[in-house]
């Protein structure tokens, strides 16, 4: 996607999440995924979002059959990393520690997530 970063609106992000979760899809297939998630949007609206995402470099399209098939060009991890960096900059002056501490204080974690956090802490502490 190049070095230029574009803002993603909430609806655009929902469309991108549909592609991440289900792989390449037509406009109608993306629309159906959004409907199952409680977002009632028209076909033309989904097409508009996919067109915008393609212009921004987040998705690519291929007309191999009767309809265009869209696929994500950018991974969830890349978008997540970019958005977290922006959040850190906006709220925590770029420092990750306060964000992590805030999450640990206010959110619930599964036993598996706690185990993974502990492994990461041990590694940071030089214990692993």
User: Considering only CA atoms, which of 88, 81, 76, 67 is closest in space to residue 23?
Assistant: 76
Sorted by where each begins, the domain ranges of the chain are: 10-72, 77-124
Beta bridge partners of 25: 70
Say what the pTM is.
Answer: 0.79
pLDDT of residue 126: 81
Check if the beta carbon of residue 82 is closer than 8 Å to that of residue 39. no
Q: Give tens-digit pLDDT for 52-111.
A: 999 999 999 998 788 899 999 999 999 999 889 989 999 999 999 999 999 999 999 999
Q: In CATH, what number does 10-72 get?
A: 1.10.10.10
pLDDT of residue 102: 93
Asked whether the predicted pLDDT for residue 4 surpasses 70, the reply is no
Write the CA distances from 127 to 6, 37, 112, 116, 118, integer angstroms: 40, 43, 19, 14, 11
Asked whether the predicted pLDDT for residue 128 surpasses 60, the reply is no
Domain with residues 77-124, CATH architecture:
Orthogonal Bundle (1.10)
pLDDT of residue 66: 86
């Amino acid at each position: 996607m190049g070095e230029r970063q574009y803002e993603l609106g909430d609806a655009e992000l929902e469309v991108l999440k549909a592609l991440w979760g289900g792989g390449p899809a037509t406009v109608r297939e993306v629309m159906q995924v959004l409907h199952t998630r409680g977002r009632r949007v028209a076909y033309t609206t989904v097409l508009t979002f996919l067109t915008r995402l393609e212009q921004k470099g987040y998705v690519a399209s291929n007309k191999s059959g009767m309809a265009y098939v869209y696929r994500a060009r950018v991974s969830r991890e890349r978008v997540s990393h970019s958005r977290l960096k922006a959040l850190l900059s906006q709220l925590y002056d770029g420092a990750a520690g306060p964000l992590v501490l805030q999450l640990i204080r206010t959110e619930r974690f599964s036993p598996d997530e706690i185990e993974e956090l502990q492994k990461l802490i041990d590694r940071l502490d030089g214990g692993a």
